[in-house]
């Protein structure tokens, strides 16, 4: 009887462990984005660095007034990153090179499998079917794990409020525009149509078609098509992407793939292991107790 | 005498070429000026001197592709449009949508599965590409935003230049 119970427990435990694995970790890493997800193709060869996208973002998202006006071109002297007051910034590269300068707009890339979402233990992040990675400040505890996890250094923390932690980043104008199918404010304002809005699947094709039609104009790579499992924002450039502010050391695997085996084990270790091992412990203890001469019905049966 | 024969022959053949390829095909009445940015909110509408550009550029197809004027010269376009004749729609807005990214336009483009030109610029993008692209060649023309269209009061507020009073628009050009 005892051995039967023990085997039964092992069987149930094993089944639960394998089920836990398939549900959590194993399914991830192969997700290629929602089929109808939208995105933006940034053609850096078209950008003239007018900073209109920054102004449009500032007004659309009701962000604080900037330190200097959006006409100020002196901001290009230093490489900027996104902050809680600016969800998008344009940087200048290759200024004195032939064919330069090259301008590159930076904002949240809205990954297919966002590392910020993976790292968040209160599920403050959501990847919507429209492609946006949105954030819920109501459940955020301000741990800032997402800031560390993001491979593009995008999420910024609003240090103004002590009691109400808020991460600030581009949400692809989800609330005001994307939800109803409209393009984000930066795309609408761009005078040169350096930003093309559309279904991500279509944009990938358009990007490759531009390279094919005018190979002299482009470096043969679409940044964001495969990087970290693919992003909703895609980029074209005339030179190697590493020269114009992109991290080209990024693997094509989504960030979650680095941790999925570990994450798959967490529910097992935290829930199943304690129950399983205390069960085994209790059984073995009982067994040892029995062997000291207190024969029971079951032990007799076993003999 | 044989020399004259050759000359006459040559002259005749040149005439034939110029007749079969008229430099400016007969087309819709050409406006001398076009008011652009009519619905502009941040930048004011302005008058585009079409007549002056015709005198300067001469080749209609430089801006109007294969829609009017001479045959296309762009080798990429020529692959299909080598022999395309002029078409009825000549104005920019006839082909380039003023709302290229609206859900309706995107859905319409997706529905037309037989269309080749899926990557078509919107009206604003096409105009800026055409104007700035040509103007930036050896200083051929103005490239600063306000060199063509003056910014409105709303535009000044939009670019936060009214209250911060930083540098004037396009102080350094592009």
Select the more confidently predicted residue: A40 or A272.
Answer: A40
Determine, yes or no, domain membership for A133.
yes
Output b/e per residue, A3-18; b: 16+ Cβ within 10 A. Answer: eeeeeeeeeebeebbe
CATH number of the domain where residue A79 is located? 3.30.70.20
What residues does A160 pair with on adjacent strands?
none
* pTM of the predicted protein model: 0.78
Contacts of B124 in chain A (CB under 8 A): 191, 193
Q: Taking residues A56-78, what's their average pLDDT?
A: 94
Contact B118 A65 (CB under 8 A): no
Cα–Cα–Cα angle for A245, A206, A177, rounded to 5 degrees: 75
Got the DSSP string for B146-157?
HHHSPBPHHHHH
Alpha-carbon span B64 to B43, nearest angstrom: 25
Predicted confidence at residue A24, as pLDDT, reads: 41
Determine, yes or no, domain membership for A12.
no
Q: Measure in Å the smallest separation between the Cα of A202 and chain B Cα atoms.
A: 9
Select the more confidently predicted residue: A258 or A12.
Answer: A258
Q: What does the mean pLDDT of chain A come to?
A: 86
Contact B125 A193 (CB under 8 A): yes
Chain B residue at shortest CA distance from A199:
B106
Q: Measure in Å the smallest separation between the Cα of B107 and chain A Cα atoms.
A: 10
Determine, yes or no, domain membership for A17.
no
- The band of A86, judged by pLDDT with boundaries at 50, 70 and 90, is very high
Predicted confidence at residue A20, as pLDDT, reads: 47
Q: How many residues are given for chain B?
A: 174
> Strand, coil or helix: what is A49?
coil
The continuous run of DSSP H or E covering A18 comes out as helix A2-21
Determine, yes or no, domain membership for A146.
yes
Determine, yes or no, domain membership for A267.
no
| Total count of domains within chain A | 1
Predicted confidence at residue A25, as pLDDT, reads: 42
Place of tokens 């007051």: A85
**Cβ atoms within 10 Å of B132's Cβ, excluding its own:** 21
Determine, yes or no, domain membership for A127.
yes
What residues does B35 pair with on adjacent strands?
B47
Predicted confidence at residue B6, as pLDDT, reads: 52
**B159, B169, B172: best mutation site toward chain A, by most A Cβ within 10 Å?**
B159
Contact B161 A69 (CB under 8 A): yes
Contact residues for B63 (Cβ-Cβ < 8 A; gap 6+) = B53, B57, B130
Predicted confidence at residue B28, as pLDDT, reads: 57
In chain B, what are the domains? 22-161 (3.90.10.10)
Q: Which residues constitute the domain of residue A152?
A: 39-252
Alpha-carbon span A38 to B6, nearest angstrom: 66
Determine, yes or no, domain membership for A191.
yes
Which tens digit of pLDDT belongs to each residue from A101-149? 999 999 999 999 999 999 999 999 999 999 999 999 999 999 999 999 9
Interface membership of A270 toward B (CB under 8 Å): no
Contact A73 B101 (CB under 8 A): no
- The band of A290, judged by pLDDT with boundaries at 50, 70 and 90, is low
Predicted confidence at residue A8, as pLDDT, reads: 65
Interface membership of A181 toward B (CB under 8 Å): yes
Contacts of B101 in chain A (CB under 8 A): 182-183, 187-188, 196-198
Q: Measure in Å the smallest separation between the Cα of A113 and chain B Cα atoms.
A: 25
Determine, yes or no, domain membership for A54.
yes
Contacts of A59 in chain B (CB under 8 A): 158
* ipTM at complex level: 0.77
Contacts of B122 in chain A (CB under 8 A): 193
- The band of A266, judged by pLDDT with boundaries at 50, 70 and 90, is confident
Phi (first) and psi of residue A261, to 5 degrees: -65, -40
Q: Per residue of chain B (174 residues), give pLDDT as tens.
A: 445 545 444 444 433 333 333 344 445 578 899 999 988 899 999 999 999 999 988 788 888 888 887 777 778 788 888 888 888 888 899 999 999 999 999 999 999 888 888 899 999 999 999 999 899 886 788 888 899 999 999 999 999 986 655 544 444 444
């Amino acid at each position: 009887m005892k051995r039967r119970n023990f085997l039964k427990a092992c069987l149930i435990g094993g089944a639960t462990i394998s089920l836990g694995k398939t549900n959590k970790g194993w399914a991830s890493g192969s997700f290629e984005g929602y089929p109808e997800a939208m995105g933006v193709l940034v053609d850096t060869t078209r950008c003239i660095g007018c900073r209109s996208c920054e102004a449009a973002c500032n007004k659309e998202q009701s962000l604080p007034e900037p330190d200097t006006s959006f006409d100020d071109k002196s901001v290009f002297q230093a490489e900027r990153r996104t902050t809680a007051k600016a969800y998008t910034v344009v940087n200048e590269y290759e200024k004195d090179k032939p064919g330069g300068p090259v301008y590159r707009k930076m904002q949240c890339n809205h990954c297919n499998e966002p590392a910020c979402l993976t790292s968040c233990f209160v599920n403050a992040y959501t990847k919507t079917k429209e492609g946006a990675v949105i954030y819920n400040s109501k459940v955020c505890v301000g741990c800032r794990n997402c800031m560390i996890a993001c491979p593009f250094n995008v999420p910024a923390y609003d240090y103004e409020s002590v009691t109400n932690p808020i991460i600030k980043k581009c949400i692809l104008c989800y609330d005001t525009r994307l939800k109803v199918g409209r393009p984000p404010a930066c795309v609408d304002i761009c005078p040169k149509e350096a930003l093309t809005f559309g279904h991500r699947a279509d944009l990938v094709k358009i990007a490759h078609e531009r390279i094919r039609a005018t190979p002299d104009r482009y470096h043969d790579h679409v940044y964001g098509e495969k990087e970290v499992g693919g992003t909703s924002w895609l980029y074209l450039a005339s030179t190697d992407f590493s020269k114009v502010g992109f991290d080209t050391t990024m693997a094509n695997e989504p960030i979650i793939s680095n941790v999925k085996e570990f994450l798959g084990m967490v529910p097992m270790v935290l829930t199943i292991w304690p129950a399983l091992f205390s069960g085994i412990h209790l059984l073995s203890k009982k067994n040892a107790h029995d062997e000291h001469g207190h024969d029971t019905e079951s032990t007799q049966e076993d003999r | 005498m044989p020399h004259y024969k050759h000359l006459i022959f040559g002259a005749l053949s040149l005439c034939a070429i110029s007749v079969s390829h008229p430099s400016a095909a007969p087309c819709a009445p050409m406006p001398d000026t076009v008011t652009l940015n009519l619905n502009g909110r941040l930048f004011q509408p302005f008058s585009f001197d079409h007549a002056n550009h015709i005198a300067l550029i001469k080749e209609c197809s430089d801006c109007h592709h294969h829609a009017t004027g001479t045959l296309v010269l762009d080798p990429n376009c020529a692959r299909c449009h080598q022999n395309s004749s002029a078409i009825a729609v000549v104005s920019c807005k006839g082909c380039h949508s003023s709302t290229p990214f609206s859900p309706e336009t995107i859905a319409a483009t997706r529905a037309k599965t037989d269309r080749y030109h899926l990557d078509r610029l919107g009206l604003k993008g096409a105009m800026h590409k055409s104007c700035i692209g040509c103007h930036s060649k050896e200083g051929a023309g103005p490239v600063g935003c306000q060199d063509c269209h003056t910014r409105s009061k709303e535009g000044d507020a939009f670019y936060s230049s009214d209250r911060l009073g930083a540098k004037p628009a396009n102080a350094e050009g592009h």
